[in-house]
Structures are given as C-alpha cells and as structure tokens.
Structure 1
Amino acid sequence: MKTYLPVIGVLGAGFALLALALPLAGDHPALSAVVFVLGTLVGLLGEGMVRQQPRVGRALESFGAGLTVRTGVRGLLLGGLAVAAFGADHGTVVLVAFTLAAVWLARLALQVLLADARAHRLSPVTWRNFEVPGVVRRAPIAPVLLGEGQRWISAATLSLVAGVVVPLAGGPDAAVPVAAVVAAGICALFVTLALVDALRARRDTTHEETVELLADALRSLAPEALFYYSRPEAIGYIANVWMPTLEQIDRKVVVLVREAWNEPLVATDTLPVVMVSRAGDIERVVPPSVRIALYPSNVATNNHLLRLPGIVDVFVGHGDSDKGGSATVLTRIFDEAWVSGPAARDRYRVADVGVRDEQVREIGRPQLADIERVAAPLTEDHHGEDAQSQWDYTVLYAPTREGFFAEWEYSSILSQGRVVLETLLAMDGVRVLFKPHPGTGTDDPAFGDEVEALKELVAAAGSPHEVVTGSEGLYHAFNRADLLVSDISSVITDFLASGKPYVVTQFGTSSPEQFRLEFPSAAGAYILVGDGSEVAAHVRDAREVDSLSEDRARTTAYLLGEQQGDPVERFDRAFDEAVARWGRRPAASA
C-alpha cells in the first residue's frame, strides 16, 4: 500500500486542481487558467508514475479507476471549465463539447482497431530458419506511430486544454477553434492509420490455414527428431544448453517451442524453430516422420506431445546434478532418460521414484566437448601473452539460482556469496570471474537483488576481475578458470570434465564427510562451510598441492562415465539405438 500512496496522491492532487479551476473561471479567469494548467501537468506526472509502476495501474483498474475513467473525468472537467468560462458563448461551448466527444470516440476507435489488428496477426503458430510457402503476413504500417497512438490522442486533448485556457488568460478567442481543428486532425490521422492497418491484417492468411500450411511444410521437411521446449517463465538457457550439440549432429531436428515468450530466447540460427501455442495443433503439425522427441524440462505441457503414438519420448534434462529436481517421479512417464554416467543412474535408484533401471541410458554429456581438459592445476600464467603476470590464478565463482522449494535451496548467493567474493578479491595474484545463474531472482527477488549487489562489488574491484556477461558461454568461462567455486548444481558436474579442482559450498549443518556422501558430485571437491571465508585456504591448497586430485578423478568417472571418443558422436548414435529399441511401436498417423 505504501507503494500506491504517492501515485494516488499525485493523481488526486491533479484532479483537485482541475476541479478548483472551475469556480475561479468567473471572477478570476487568469488564475483559473493557471490552476487548470497546473492540474493538467500534475495529472501527466501521475500518469507517468503509473506507467513506471504497472502494479499500481492494475490496482487502479480493479477499483474502477483505470486510464479510461481517469481520461473521461479530465474531459468532463475540461468541458466544465469551458461552460464556466464561455457560458454566454453557446457556439464555443458546443465546439468544445463536440471536440471532446470526437477525441473520446477516436480513443475508443483506436483501441478497437489496434486490438483487431493484433488479434489477426497473433498467430497460434510461428516459425523461423525455414520457409512455409503460401502464408501471407503483411507488416504493420507505421508501427512506431501506432504504438504511441494513445499518447498522441492525449496530445489532442492537451491542444484543446490550451485552446480553452488561452482566452481565459487574456489571449485571443480564436484559440478555441484552432485547438479544435488540431485535435480533430490528430484524431483523424491516427484512426485512419489504424483502420488501414486493421484492414491489411484481415487480408493475411487465416490462423487455421496457417496451421495447415505449416503442417505441410514440416511434412516436406521430414524431421526425424523433435526438441520439445516449454516453460511457464521466459527463460532460454534450459533449451540453449542443447542447441550447439543439436546443430552438430547429422540428422534433421526441429525445435518445437510452446510459448511465444520463449521462442525468441532459443538461440539457434540453423535449426528450424516452430512455436505452437495451442495444444490441439500439436498433432496437426507434427509430421509422421518424427520418431524421437527430446524433453529438457519436466513440465505439464510435455503431455501434449507425449500422448502422440509412434514417438520415442526421451527426457534429457538440461544438466546433470545432485539437486532434488534431478530425480523426480515425473521422469517415469518417458520411454527413456538419457543421463551422463553411473551417478545419475544411481540417483534414480536411490530416490525410488518409479524410474526403472532399464529406462536409464548413459550417453555422456555431449556439451562437454567444448571444455578444455587439463591433467593438473595450473600455477603459471596461461591466459595469453596480454595477461598480467601477477594475476596467475583465476577463480570462477558461479553460484546456482534459488530453489523452487525450500528443501531444494542450494544457492550460496545470500549465505556465503559476499564473503566468498570479498575474500577472493583480497588474495594476491588471484583473478576473479563472477558468473551467476541467469535465472537467479525468478522465484525470489531477494536473490536477484543480491546478485546485482555482487556484480557491483566485482565491477568496483576493477581489472582484471570481471563479471562474466551472458554473451560468454559458461564453458568458455570454465576454460579461462583454474578453479571453480559453485553450489550443488550441474555446473560442478560439467566442470569435472576440465580436470581442474573445484570448491562446493555447503548448506545445512552436516559434516563435510556426510555432505559428500549425500551429494556424490561433491566427493572430489573442497567443501566450503560457514560464512565462506575458508575459500582462501581451499584456493591455496588447490594452487600449491591439489590434495584432492585423486578423489576428483574418481568423482569424474562416476559422474560423467566413459569419456573416450567423440561425445557428440556418442549422443548421435543414441538416437538410432533408441529408435531400434522401440521400433516395434506403430508410427503416428499422417
């Protein structure tokens, strides 16, 4: 409520000033003009505050005080001012009234026409990186102007305000008709543009025809695999973990996205990407050539594809970790679960969530092909000729995001993050890279706020320390680092492929030994307890002794399994092996 009060106060003050100007118009016309202009400016300030705080706008709408109502009240007060100022001049009053009515109707017409155009353009399917012949999609005309159309209509009202107050302040009476013409012209222009745009949108290919044409194009494309991506929130990293690998394999793969807000977040310029928002359209567009579907996320909308016969459904996840969400009961609905190595198989067995051992296939982590492998810690400067020799050891702090549930809370952001970074930044010869999880703050804003504060801390420390931006992939950051500090997550599993030492933050009160038993991915790690200040001792050990090198090697074999050969080729072979195992199933009908 405290957030709403300033906005409501400013809006209320604006309306009060507008109302105050009316009784002043008879005896103090100049003062009335000043007060009305001041009320108008205060009202504009209030509307600007509403736009900056959408929650306030929604609250006002729920109480029947939305923008339409507020605009209407201001129009009535302007009409009242015209009556008070020009009561004896019937023609001027009528002109003001008719112009206000025209502006109001123009605002309504603009809203209706723009909504109609959006409805005809908002297709339930979209696509990129391939062609769908026969579909006509006309670009909106004057999208920048129409996008600001409501503000221009408001400007028409402001011109009429000027036309009324100028004579009150002693100016020429001709200001009223001039303002009326300007207001009418603005309204006519934008309504005409919106009408033409709506008519153009109505000539586009209908939604149902578009779905059929997309289905024809996909049948011609004849993909053998689908990558099915759906998330209730707008995030792309879960899908993008797999894009480079899918781009490398020699088979036709289509990325099927379910939400319009996630489609542009899928980062691929080569794979066909299709967005299908309506569940009923899935069976219409998925061609019979598809024999296998990959699912990186356990969400309810997976069922819209799972129900189609003839497809081998495989859960691939987006990372291999000891988090609670890595072995859930939801996975048992898939034909197979592809995992990295023996640890993931054991994880399902221990969790006892109904996933049968024969469902689990160890196929490695094809993404890890981009991680450079070393046999021992690097104590010399290996970051290139331009690196400063005094910064000869690089530590990457890559904490995970907050948990979806309290028992899945593994992030060190709030518990240890600041001390970890302050300690590392104070160490001689240590370069710090900070790369937080891109989804941090999605479920708990406190984590997102703290990440921003930690970014400022690293930025203030200056070069060579840096915040790793989203444009740099996690694996590239791995290759720049000599040691990783992270939480229980797939980050530490993937980092094992580098052969370098790593530190895992501990939550809870269990001993480090018990923690390693509970979370096998930490078996080869230095365990960081307390407030995080012990990270310095772990860095020194890793840098000078590397006392956990043998434990780390055993952990790597357990988590990642067999690492011989090309991991992408191994992943590619898994497609044919899965289809062969389930080949007895009938294909989906065309």
Structure 2
Amino acid sequence: MRALPVLASAVDFAKKRLKAQQQRGQVNRYAKHLFHLPQGEQRYRVGLYFADEMVNAYQLRQWYAPLQQLAQSVPVVVITRQPGTALALSEECPLPVHLAPTIGDVEALIDSQRIDVVFYVNQNIKNFQMIRFNEPNHVFICHGESEKAYMWSNQLKSYDYVFGAGQAARDRLAKNLRNYDATSRTRLVGRPQIDTEYLAPYSLNAKLPTVLYAPTWEGDRPSMNYGSVTSHGVKIIESLIADGGFNIIFRPHPRSGVNVEEYGADVARIRQKLSEANPGSAGRLLFDDTAHWGWQWSKADACITDISAVAYDFLATGKPIFITTPVSPEAVVADSPALEQLPSLNSVQAENAAELIHQALEMEDAERNALIERYFGDITPGASMSRFISETLDLLDN
C-alpha cells in the first residue's frame, strides 16, 4: 500500500519538473532578458534573493520602493529561481529580474557580477543555496517587523546581518537567540517603506474616519495561529457596519484559507457583508485585495490587526491601533513592550469594535509615542530610507 503514495509523489514531481521545463523554454523564446548578465560598471552590486512562487510575492513587493531608491546609487537585481515567478515579476517589478533556476546559474551570476550584498525577505529553504557563497554579505530584511516567533528563528544565525527596524528588534534577538551577538550583527534601519508615497486606488468619504482591519492568515502551525478572521473578524465588521460612521478597509492576508478552509470561508463572508452594506452606507466599505501595501497607512485613521507585521507598519504612523488577542492557546505570544502597552482586542470585545475605536480617536496616547521611538527610532520623513541606504552602502565597502 505504501507504493501508492510514493508513486503519486513521483508523478507530482514529474509534473512539476515538466512544467518548469516548459516555463524555461518559454523564457528562452520570449524573455531572454531574464538571463542577462550586465558587464563593466553596470554589473549588479546588490541582489534581493526570492526563491518562492508568486503566491508569496507580497513579501517582496513592499521592498520595491526602497530598492528603487538604493538603485539610484548602485545596480540592484531581484534574483529568482522559478521561471514562472521570474516571468510574472518581470511584468510588475520596477527592478531588473534575473532567473537562476539551477545552482550552475547561481554560480554564473555570482562569478560574473560584483554582488556584495544579498537581501532575503523570508526563510525559504533554498536561501541556503545562496548563503553558501562567502563573498557577499547575506542580510535578512524580512517582509515586515512583528512579534511572531518567526522573527527570532534560529535560522537567523545563518545570515551575516539582520536589518531590524529599531532597538526592539535587536533586543528581541538578544533575548531569544543563544550564542548570537545581536549588537554587532543587527543594523537598525527603521522602516523605509513609510518614506514612500503610495497612490490610493480608491476614493473614500473624507468626512468620516477610516478603519483598517488587516488580519493575518491562519498560519501553517499551531504556534503561528494568530489569525483573527474566524474568532474576531465577522463581529468586528458587523460592529463597524452597524455604526455607520466609518469607511472600512478590510484587507485579509493573501494566504488566508490556504491551510484552514473555514478561515477562507469567513473571509468570503466578510466580503459579502461589505458588498451588501456598501450601497446604503455613508462610508466606503472596501474589500481590499490589491497587490500593493502602503497606501492604507495614510488613508486609515485607526487600525485593527493581529500579531503581525501590519501592527508595526501602522504603529509608525502614530495613529490608534488595536492588536487582537489570539484565541488559540498554542499561539506563541512573546513578552514585548508593544503587546503589553498597545490596546488589545479579545474575541468578546470584537462586538464593540466601533465604540472602542470612537474612544481611541478622541484620546492622546503618550505611551504609543514612546513605543514608536523604541521600535522604529527616528521616523521623521526620509530618516528611515536614509538609514537603509546608508547601511547597505556601508556593507558594499566591507
């Protein structure tokens, strides 16, 4: 009987390999620029390594703007391993995209270019196929600051440096990683994404406050089960709609429902509720599945989110924010100033979300301002972007 699963696995592998071969053939015929290796002063100096499929492209999109700024000083490239991903990114990415599907292709890239810094936005196992090269500085920049256990994974020891947002990131690593010099191996760059202007794809009722509800997904293991859509989400949206005094931006995580069907079904329920209520609402009720993340920060006056990177992106705006309390007892909740001091929202309180937000909009929060300093440092316009570029250029000379 065991032969059947093995046979099925072999067939699945063969299908994936055939698909990859077909995609590579398509690249060779129609997108040869994805194999281009520049010469002379145009050789790449900085690479962002992305070995994933397009389903995780959200992790790299938020770095487009900072890397574009960096590219004004040195040539930057996005390095991909999958033909399908390379083709898709070449249509949307404002930076050069290079396809290196085999180890030989990766070696050719390293040997022919002057890459001194390689950035990583996730913990894909294929990262280690690039990390084995000694010449570049390997830098983990992640796809967002958060208090998830992911942020102090032992895998971080594999990178030469971690670019963290502020002192809280350094403290987090010092506390949780053994035999790791967090002082020398973390560089604090703020959150350069907040220094980028984003065009909003929607118009809102400017006379009403706007609430952003941006929950994370259900996670791929019990310890990462921070998602609030099923436990909180429907009640939050119902409360906001019933109040009638808000614009609503509901932005679910793009991986919602991948592992738990019910979670995805509840996202669909919320979408339907917003659609049905929108025609008679004074505010704009949006289901936001746009590709880009950033314009929501400037448009929203308050935010409800989970233990995720969204919390830290929005924290830097200085506006009111609520962090949902996970209902799963297995979810790892770290002791952190942010989780201790920012207002929490449990599943029972979710029914009164509208009232709590009205109260928060009328209050001044000195503790929140102190948290911003600890988590991001100087957030005056341009400061984070300047630090990111400065720290990167410094590594080119080391």
TM-score by length of 1: 0.57
SS of match in other structure, 2:231: coil
C-alpha contact 2:66 2:385 (8 A) present in aligned 1: yes
Distance 1:475 1:420, change over 3 A: same
In the TM superposition, residue 125 of structure 1 has moved relative to its aligned partner by: 9.7
1:534 counterpart (352, 368, 382) = 352
In structure 2, the residue corresponding to 1:261 is in which secondary structure? helix
Answer whether contact 2:212 2:300 (CA < 8 A) is retained.
Answer: yes
Contact persistence 2:61–2:292 (CA under 8 A)? no
Deviations 1:360-417 (A, max 9, x none): 1111111111379xxxxxxxxxx98x8374xx22111111111121011111011111
Name 2:239's counterpart in structure 1.
Answer: 423
Q: Is the 8 A contact 1:423 1:536 kept in 2?
A: yes
Residues of 1 paired with 2:197 and 2:214: CA distance?
16
Answer with 1 or 2: which has the greater Rg: 1
SS for the counterpart of 1:313 is: strand
Equivalent residue, structure 1, for 2:337 = 520
| Per-residue deviation, 1:442 | 2.3
How far off its partner does 1:441 sit? 1.8
Q: CA deviation at 1:478?
A: 1.8
Say whether residues 1:278 and 2:96 are aligned partners: no
* Range that drifts further, 225-234 or 423-432: 225-234
One-letter identity of the residue aligned with 1:504: I
Please give the alpha-carbon distance, in whole angstroms, between the structure 1 residues aligned to 2:103 and 2:233: 42
Indicate whether 1:479 and 2:298 are aligned.
yes
Cα deviation, residue 434, structure 1: 0.8
Q: Which amino acid aligns with 2:315?
A: L
Amino acid at match of 2:372: T
Residue 271 of structure 2 contacts residue 287 of structure 2 at CA under 8 Å; is this kept in 1? no
Residue type of the alignment partner of 1:399: P
Give the structure 2 partner of residue 240 of structure 1. 61
Counterpart CA distance in 2 for 1:544 and 1:288 is 55
Within 5 Å, which residues of 2 pair with 1:255-404? 255-266=78-89, 268-286=92-110, 287-357=112-182, 358-370=184-196, 387=205, 389=207, 392-404=208-220
Percent same amino acid at aligned positions?
Answer: 24
Q: Name the counterpart of 2:29.
A: 137
Provide closer, same or farther for how the CA distance between residues 460 and 216 of structure 1 changes in structure 2, counting only shifts above 3 A.
closer
Matched, 1:573 2:387: no
> Which one-letter code corresponds to 1:255 in the other structure?
V
The structural deviation recorded for 1:347 is 1.0
* Residues 269 and 545 of structure 1, relative CA distance in 2, 3 Å threshold: closer
User: 1:498: how far off?
Assistant: 1.2
> CA RMSD for the aligned pairs?
3.1
Deviations 1:106-139 (A, max 9, x none): xxxxxxxxxxx9897643895xxxxxxxxx7379
Aligned to 1:226: 47
Partner of 1:439: 255
Structure 2 regions of 5+ residues with no counterpart? 9-17
Contact 1:331 1:355 in 2 (8 A): no
| Residue aligned with 1:484, SS | strand
The answer to whether the Cα contact below 8 Å between 1:336 and 1:359 also exists between their aligned partners in 2 is yes
When normalised by structure 2's length, the TM-score is 0.83
Kindly state the Cα deviation for residue 481 of structure 1 after the two structures are TM-superposed.
1.2
| 1:449 pairs with one of 251, 265, 268 | 265
Does the Cα contact within 8 Å between 1:125 and 1:275 map onto a contact in 2? no
Taking the aligned partners of 1:284 and 1:344, their CA distance within structure 2 comes to 35
User: Letter of the aligned partner of 1:521 in structure 2?
Assistant: A
> Does the 8 Å CA contact 2:249/2:288 hold for their aligned counterparts?
no
Question: Shift in Å at residue 309 of structure 1?
Answer: 2.5
- Return the alpha-carbon distance in structure 2 between the equivalents of residues 440 and 413 of structure 1: 9
Contact 1:215 1:284 in 2 (8 A): no
For 2:113 and 2:265, locate their aligned partners in 1 and report how far apart those are by CA, in whole Å.
48
Alpha-carbon distance in 1 for matches of 2:23, 2:291: 33
1:496 aligns with 2:388: no
Q: Which residue of 1 aligns with 2:225?
A: 409
Task: Tell me whether 302-311 or 525-534 shows the greater mean CA deviation.
Answer: 525-534
Residue in structure 2 matched with residue 46 of structure 1 by the alignment: none
Structure 1, unaligned runs of 5 or more: 1-57, 63-116, 127-135, 140-209, 373-382, 584-590
Q: Is the Cα–Cα contact under 8 Å of residues 329 and 355 in structure 1 kept in the other structure?
A: no
Which stretch of the first structure deviates more once superposed, 431-440 or 523-532? 523-532
In terms of fraction of residues, the more helix-rich structure is 1
- Which amino acid in 2 is paired with 1:424? L
> Residues 347 and 556 (structure 1 numbering): CA distance in 2 closer, same or farther, change over 3 Å?
same
1:253 is aligned to 2:76: yes
Partners of 2:54 and 2:88 within 8 A in 1:
no
Q: 1:564 to 1:120 in 2, by over 3 A?
A: closer
Instruction: Provide the secondary structure at the position in 1 that maps to 2:316.
Output: helix
- Residue type at the aligned position of 2:322: V
Tell me how far 1:448 sits from its aligned partner. 1.7
Q: Is the 1:340–1:365 contact (alpha carbons within 8 Å) kept by the matching residues of 2?
A: yes
Q: How many angstroms apart in 2 are the aligned matches of 1:119 and 1:498?
A: 43
The 1:468–1:453 alpha-carbon spacing in structure 2 relative to 1, beyond 3 Å, is closer
- Alignment check: 8 A CA contact 1:236 1:265 kept: no
Structure having greater relative contact order (Cα 8 Å, sep ≥ 6): 2
Letter paired with 1:137: R
Q: Following TM superposition, by how much is the alpha carbon of 1:350 offset from its aligned partner in structure 2, in angstroms? A: 1.7
Question: What residue number does 1:555 align with?
Answer: 371
Structure 2 residue matching 1:447: 3-state secondary structure:
helix
Contact 2:49 2:118 in 1 (8 A): yes
In the TM superposition, what is the alpha-carbon distance from 1:225 to its structure 2 partner? Answer: 0.6
Count of residues paired in the alignment: 369
Corresponding residue SS for 1:474: coil
